[in-house]
Structure 1
Amino acid sequence: MITAVLDAGVPVGWVTGDEVYGADSGLRDDLEHQRIGYVLAVGCDRRVHVNDGRTLVRVDGLADRIPATEWQLHNCGPGAEGPRDYLWVWITSSPR
């Protein structure tokens, strides 16, 4: 669906998606090629390369390696059970 929107020429500033979209390496490649920002969920057992590709780690263990001072709290709007506050941190990784 996301690719169809991009192929149709709909102006897009950024994309979000659940774990199904996050598992699609072709989609990530397309978004990066078109210079479109994205946040895609991935399974906790997904492995990514960090440290300029030198280290392969599971994403669920990666969070533990990031100092607490690096995390930023952001509100994503109201939810059914109150505010949706999430901790975010920016890292550079490669899923390959």
Structure 2
Amino acid sequence: MKTRPLFLSMIGLSLLAGCSSKSDSYTREIGIYPGNPNETYAPEVVADNATYRNVTELKSGYHSSSYDYNLTAQLVTDGIHSAIEPAT
């Protein structure tokens, strides 16, 4: 009868022994290669200010409840920067 609590405590201790703090050495932060930094071949993001890219060119835009509701979503998705109001 005493063997069952002893057996359960041994199982509990063996499970806790596997939860050591050594797991921090296997991972780094999000987005950082976990191995040797000289051996990573992941692509890097580089800013390209010389080329204009319209990333919302073919995406639909929906907008309502504004003065010019037909044109506001188009101006937002096209990325047009203007200080004047659109023609009505």
- Bigger relative CO (Cα 8 Å, ≥ 6 apart): 1
| TM-score category of the 2 structures, normalised to the smaller one | under 0.3
Q: What TM-score comes out, normalization by structure 1 length?
A: 0.19
Q: Which entry has the higher C-alpha Rg, 1 or 2? A: 2
More strand by share: 1
Q: What TM-score comes out, normalization by structure 2 length?
A: 0.20
